[in-house]
Structure 1
Amino acid sequence: MAITLSARQAADEEARAEVDVLTSRLEKTAQLTKKIQASLTRLETSGRSVQEAIGPIHGNTQRLQVLGNNIDSILGAIETVRGPSDIKNNEEEIIRSGPDNAGLSSYLASMNRVTRALSDLKSTNMKSNQQALSDLSRLIQFGNQQLESVFRRILQEDAAPVEPLNFITKQKPWPTLSQDKTTRLGLINSFVGARQQTSMVAQAQESPTAKIYANVRGPYLQASLANLAAASVNTAKKKSADAIYKHGTNGIGMYAQAIEGAYIAEHENVCALFARDDWGRVFNLACQGAMDDVGRTLRELNVHIRAHLTTDCFLAYEILEIISQLSSRVETQTGELKGPFGSVLKPIRDTARTSLAELLDDTRKRVSGIQSIPVDVPPLPITTETMARLQTMVEFLRPISGIMISLGDGNWKSASGTNASADTTPSLASFDVTADGKELFAHYSADTVDALLSSLQAKGAQLLKTKQLQGVFLANNLVVVNRMISASDLAPLLKSRIPSLDTWKKKATSLYMDPWLETSRILMDVVHTGGSRTGGGRAGRPASGSTGNESAAVVKALSSKERDTIKEKFRQFNATFDELVAKHKMLTMEKEVREAFARDVQAMVEPLYGRFWDRYHELDRGRGKYVKYDRGAVAAICAGLA
């Protein structure tokens, strides 16, 4: 119990001690709090004092910053205003001095700086800069005029016309601008082009440098080609109006060579100076005048050809081939001028196409217009001229074949057929790619020969009284046709068509042999001898080569009336035979015609007369009163007709 009380007292003492400690700490905390509160009070008082002291200074500082910013803006605006004036002063001397004095590179650099300054100045939109804008614009305009003047002057240094023959005959390339000049011209053009792209108005117009180039180079091309253009027209004129045009005698071939050389060289110049997108436009501008001259030259040639179509249609074929090939080569090299070449070639192409039908019509009209035929019925000049035309056509077979393929087989027989296809330039679709140009020419030649011989036959029937004359007339002309085919390049082309001439030969032979047939019919009349009427009335007829005794037996069996009939037949034969032989010898025949007709006469007359003579020659008993010729004499006379 005592222990328990003592322990509790000890615990209480310990608790009082802890309380005393806590009380002491609370007092110290209270004191510290008072000190902190006093410090905060003093700090708040000091902060208000500082704020009251610093506030005015801060406000002044802000106002000073605003003022400084305003001053900087004013200085910038002043600099902006002064800038154009400074640029004008700095660059004007260079620009006014010109590209030659300043140097092209320095001049273009100065122009670029002024151009940029003008662009910047426009973006400020300040009224105070209006004068500066005007000054810089005038300066740029002056500079551009200077550049364009230099561009023109450099081009004009090589604008003197040249003599094309000097380059053609010596096979020298056509002259182009030197690299130094193309470099300078290219720099100027690039600057002008860049400036044009910034202007919407200028973009809708042709570049000044492009215009200058065309204005300088265009006349240069025209003047350089003018002599050959004139020569092409002059060489079309002939001393003899009826002379057929010969291949290569016109100056159009040389003219085409000059055009090709000039155009390709000009395209090289254009490519060296201008941007790719401008090549075609500038090239066409430069060549426009020269192309107009080509068109004028071809129109003049076409007028000449139309006036002398039968002799000079070949010039149309030659021009068509030469200019078509020229157009193809120029297009291959430049990619340009196909359309212009097609346009200037159209009159010649139309003439070439219609000429085929017109030549056929001309042949018919000329034969139809013949008023008389010589009594000896020789071949007419129209035959030789027509065949000479066909012979000459072979020399122009390539362009003619192209024309015929585009027309189609047989469409040359009338002018309407050729005109229907002449309104437009032929395209690939209009061609029969399976057509053979040589075969079509053979068809055309056959049509020409048929037109000629048909017209001659009709004219012979109209003007010549006898079929014999008509036959000789037709045969003489036919031989000329056959001879001129065989002796020329027509032979291999018309080989398959020559058999058609046999039909005409048979017509001529039939006409000529008509009176000989009548004479032969005298010898073919049937005579019935006494009691012998079998075998078609020819019983008792001695074989060819029979003896006089056999003839005597036949004659003896004849009645007096039958003898009189035989005597009359001998008289008729003698008279008509002598007359036909005399006419045969009087007629003018081509050697081949005379020989052919002689063979035909001999083949018809000699066997018939021989049989007739074998049977009845004893009727005359060798006196020659009725039987004028023996079989040998008739054979000799027939052989002598050749």
Structure 2
Amino acid sequence: MADLSESAAQIELLDQNLKKTHQLSSRMAGILAHFDSRLIRLEKTLSPVHNSTQSLTRLGANIDATLAALATVRVNQEKTQSDETALMAQPNPSNLGPYLATFDRVMEHISDLKSSGLRGGQGALKENVKLAEVAFKKLCTILTQQIQDGTNISLDIDAFLQDPPRPLSILSTSGTLSSSNLATYLVSSPLALTQAKTYLDESFRGWGETRGSWMKKHLEGLGRRVLIAASAADEGGTQPSESDETGGKLGETLLALAKSEHALLCSLVPDSSAYISSTLQTILTPSLTYFSSGVLASLLTLLKKESAPWKAYTLWDELSKLSNRWDDFFESAGLKNQGELSGFMQAGLKGICLRSIPEAVESAKVSFVVKPGEFQSVSVSSVTTSIVSFLLNLPSYQSVIETFLNTIGDRKWLMGASMANVPVGDDDGLIAHFIYDVTAALVNSLDQRAKALRRGVGGIFLMNNMSFVRDNLVLHSSSNFSDLLGENGDELLNKAFKNAKATYLDPWNELTSPLLQASSSSSNSGNAGRQAVKDQFVKFWDLLDRQEQVHLTNHLGRAGDMKARMRDEVKTLVGKAYKTAVAKHDGSLGTKYIRISPDELDSKLAAMFK
């Protein structure tokens, strides 16, 4: 019971404590509710202050940003003023680095202003663009000046053709151009795509004009030498010119210089095909005009007056070898006016070369008209030497001549004339046919000339000329010509030489005829027989005197051993007949008829051939 009472007392105590705690909690809740209401009233009181503080904070941040922007503007303004001063000054061509760095900075600032999109920056943008354009123009002027300064270099044409220099070596300022790479820099600049491009266009136009004048100047010196060489007489036109100052060399030089200028442009502005082609066209136009309208046109005029076609053949050969490389270069470089060579060759030069073929035949067929009282020369004629020289030089131009022979057609060079005895085979080739026809025309002309001269003189003329022709074309010609002349040509000339020999010996055979008749007659067969023998000796001496007079003023040439052989043949022919006649009639006829001994006659005949 005591325990229960004690437990009940504890429970009652606990219940009292709970009541007190409840009272305290109620009081605390009231206090907190009161405090919460006071906090609400405080919050309502502080809320306007807080809102004002946020506005002030934002205002302060804006002020700080504005001050920072003003500071930046001030710094940029200082930089802009500094850059403007630097860019407005004249650049130092030998040290463009600082100037280009400043220009890059201004271009970067322009890019920033464009990307910002700020309306307030439009004024600054315009000012910077204007400043950049001024600087761009100055740099373009520097580029033009560098090209002009570098063009003072002089070239040795022969050395240039043998070993063309590296592209930049043809400029004396190549070091400056290479180190600054100004041309590439300007072409790649954003301003090159704006209206400032006109400055760059003007600079490259000046580049082209400057280099074009330099190039033409070097070609003009060579061009003058080419025309002088072309107008010089070359041994009467019988021999090709040995001068190396030719139209072909001028063309080779022009092409080599064009390639060099193209390589220079490609090395300085490698990524600008438009500027390369337009500038190269400006460079080449004066030289192309000089080459075609100046030198080639003048050469055409000179070649039309030439008596021999060698210079025309040489020029055709040189230009033919140059033509393909010429066209390939102009096409690959995207240039116009590449047709000068082919146009000149087809329009003018080809006609001269084609005409030379039938003209060669006609010149060999020239008639030797003997006018009354005219001195009848028996020496080798200029026609003979000219035709022989022409024929001997044909192998050196075989490929050129065959081109034109094919164009004309086989035997069409005879111009409708018929040639007697032309046994040339179809397999001999056109040039062999041509050589045969020219040779046959010459042989026929010489024969006609000999027949037009008085007796005895014609034989000496024919012998001199045919000996010269045969010695040069058959006996002492090169293997190349012999192959072209062929067996038919050999036969023609050998037959013509035999005919010339027979023509020359005809008067000597006539001279021996009285001696042969005297040898067959007897001076002891009465007065009539004796008188007939006397008449034969008189006739012999008359004919001998006539031959002596002919040989006194008309001499056999010394071509080979022809003169010695003819002397020996004449001495044998006449001497033997005289000796026989004298041996038969020496005792019956006086010195009036047998004037000299056979030995003295031998000496007399030998004297005619000295």
Task: Give the TM-score normalised by structure 2.
Answer: 0.59
Alignment-derived partner of residue 25 in structure 1: none
Alignment-derived partner of residue 178 in structure 2: 183
- Range with greater deviation from structure 2 (359-368 or 50-59): 50-59
Take 2:51 and 2:411, find their aligned partners in 1: how far apart are those partners?
Answer: 107
Take 1:59 and 1:384, find their aligned partners in 2: how far apart are those partners?
Answer: 125
- Range with greater deviation from structure 2 (254-263 or 383-392): 254-263
1:96 CA drift (Å): 1.9
Take 1:369 and 1:494, find their aligned partners in 2: how far apart are those partners?
Answer: 24
Q: Name the CA shift for 1:410/1:347 in 2 (closer, same or farther; >3 Å).
A: same
In the alignment, does 2:217 pair up with 1:226? no
Take 1:40 and 1:459, find their aligned partners in 2: how far apart are those partners?
Answer: 160
1:495 CA drift (Å): 2.2
Alignment of 1:55-204 (within 5 A): 85-100=77-92, 103-123=95-115, 128-160=120-152, 162=154, 164=156, 176-178=171-173, 180-184=175-179, 186-195=180-189, 199=193
Q: Of residues 427, 447, 457 in structure 1, which corresponds to 2:444?
A: 457
Q: Name the CA shift for 1:229/1:237 in 2 (closer, same or farther; >3 Å).
A: same
Q: Deviations over 1:401-432 (max 9, x none)?
A: 55356x37633559999xxxxxxxxxxxxxxx
In the alignment, does 2:477 pair up with 1:482? no
Native 8 Å contact 2:368 2:448 kept in 1:
no
User: Residue type matched to 2:385 in 1?
Assistant: T
In the alignment, does 2:360 pair up with 1:363? yes
Q: Deviations over 1:526-549 (max 9, x none)?
A: xxxxxxxxxxxxxxxxxxxxxxxx
1:104 CA drift (Å): 1.6
SS in 2 for 1:162: coil
User: Residue type matched to 1:410 in 2?
Assistant: N
Take 2:31 and 2:243, find their aligned partners in 1: how far apart are those partners?
Answer: 126
1:152 CA drift (Å): 3.1
Q: Of residues 469, 482, 486 in structure 2, which corresponds to 1:495?
A: 482
Native 8 Å contact 1:461 1:470 kept in 2:
no
User: Residue type matched to 1:238 in 2?
Assistant: A
Contiguous gaps of at least 5 residues in structure 1: 1-27, 418-439, 521-550, 552-570, 602-608, 610-622, 625-632
User: Residue type matched to 1:357 in 2?
Assistant: L
Native 8 Å contact 1:161 1:220 kept in 2:
no
Q: Deviations over 1:47-79 (max 9, x none)?
A: 993775676567667766876787788779878
User: Residue type matched to 1:189 in 2?
Assistant: A
Native 8 Å contact 1:94 1:110 kept in 2:
yes
User: Residue type matched to 2:468 in 1?
Assistant: V
Alignment-derived partner of residue 562 in structure 1: none
Q: Name the CA shift for 1:386/1:105 in 2 (closer, same or farther; >3 Å).
A: same
Q: Name the CA shift for 1:255/1:330 in 2 (closer, same or farther; >3 Å).
A: same
Alignment-derived partner of residue 407 in structure 2: 411
Take 1:349 and 1:95, find their aligned partners in 2: how far apart are those partners?
Answer: 57
Take 2:30 and 2:466, find their aligned partners in 1: how far apart are those partners?
Answer: 148
Alignment of 1:344-355 (within 5 A): 344=341, 347=344, 353-355=350-352
In the alignment, does 2:431 pair up with 1:444? yes
SS in 1 for 2:150: coil
Native 8 Å contact 2:152 2:172 kept in 1:
no
Q: Name the CA shift for 1:164/1:43 in 2 (closer, same or farther; >3 Å).
A: farther
Q: Name the CA shift for 1:401/1:43 in 2 (closer, same or farther; >3 Å).
A: farther
Q: Name the CA shift for 1:454/1:291 in 2 (closer, same or farther; >3 Å).
A: same
1:110 CA drift (Å): 0.9
Superposition CA RMSD, Å: 6.6
Take 2:387 and 2:303, find their aligned partners in 1: how far apart are those partners?
Answer: 18
1:181 CA drift (Å): 1.6
Native 8 Å contact 2:459 2:501 kept in 1:
yes
1:317 CA drift (Å): 0.7
Take 1:511 and 1:231, find their aligned partners in 2: how far apart are those partners?
Answer: 46
Native 8 Å contact 2:316 2:400 kept in 1:
no
Native 8 Å contact 1:151 1:188 kept in 2:
yes
User: Residue type matched to 2:217 in 1?
Assistant: A
Alignment of 1:524-563 (within 5 A): none
User: Residue type matched to 2:388 in 1?
Assistant: M
User: Residue type matched to 2:383 in 1?
Assistant: I
Q: Deviations over 1:188-241 (max 9, x none)?
A: 223311225761667799755433432333323333443333232233332678
Q: Name the CA shift for 1:94/1:252 in 2 (closer, same or farther; >3 Å).
A: same
Q: Of residues 372, 380, 395 in structure 1, which corresponds to 2:369?
A: 372
Take 2:342 and 2:260, find their aligned partners in 1: how far apart are those partners?
Answer: 23
Native 8 Å contact 1:299 1:348 kept in 2:
no
Q: Name the CA shift for 1:590/1:245 in 2 (closer, same or farther; >3 Å).
A: same
Take 2:294 and 2:122, find their aligned partners in 1: how far apart are those partners?
Answer: 57
User: Residue type matched to 2:184 in 1?
Assistant: S
Q: Deviations over 1:505-538 (max 9, x none)?
A: 4467579979999xx9xxxxxxxxxxxxxxxxxx
Q: Deviations over 1:440-467 (max 9, x none)?
A: 9985365144135236526856994799
Take 2:100 and 2:164, find their aligned partners in 1: how far apart are those partners?
Answer: 37
1:94 CA drift (Å): 0.9
Task: Give the TM-score normalised by structure 1.
Answer: 0.57
Alignment-derived partner of residue 269 in structure 2: 274
Take 1:409 and 1:171, find their aligned partners in 2: how far apart are those partners?
Answer: 38
Q: Name the CA shift for 1:503/1:318 in 2 (closer, same or farther; >3 Å).
A: same
Q: Name the CA shift for 1:321/1:175 in 2 (closer, same or farther; >3 Å).
A: same
Native 8 Å contact 2:143 2:182 kept in 1:
yes
Take 1:409 and 1:170, find their aligned partners in 2: how far apart are those partners?
Answer: 35
In the alignment, does 2:296 pair up with 1:299? yes
Alignment-derived partner of residue 306 in structure 2: 309
Alignment-derived partner of residue 237 in structure 1: 231
Native 8 Å contact 1:222 1:293 kept in 2:
yes
Take 2:50 and 2:391, find their aligned partners in 1: how far apart are those partners?
Answer: 116
User: Residue type matched to 1:383 in 2?
Assistant: T
Native 8 Å contact 1:218 1:289 kept in 2:
yes
1:108 CA drift (Å): 0.6
Alignment-derived partner of residue 216 in structure 1: 210
SS in 1 for 2:241: coil
SS in 2 for 1:310: coil
Native 8 Å contact 2:226 2:247 kept in 1:
yes
Q: Percent identity?
A: 13
1:156 CA drift (Å): 3.3
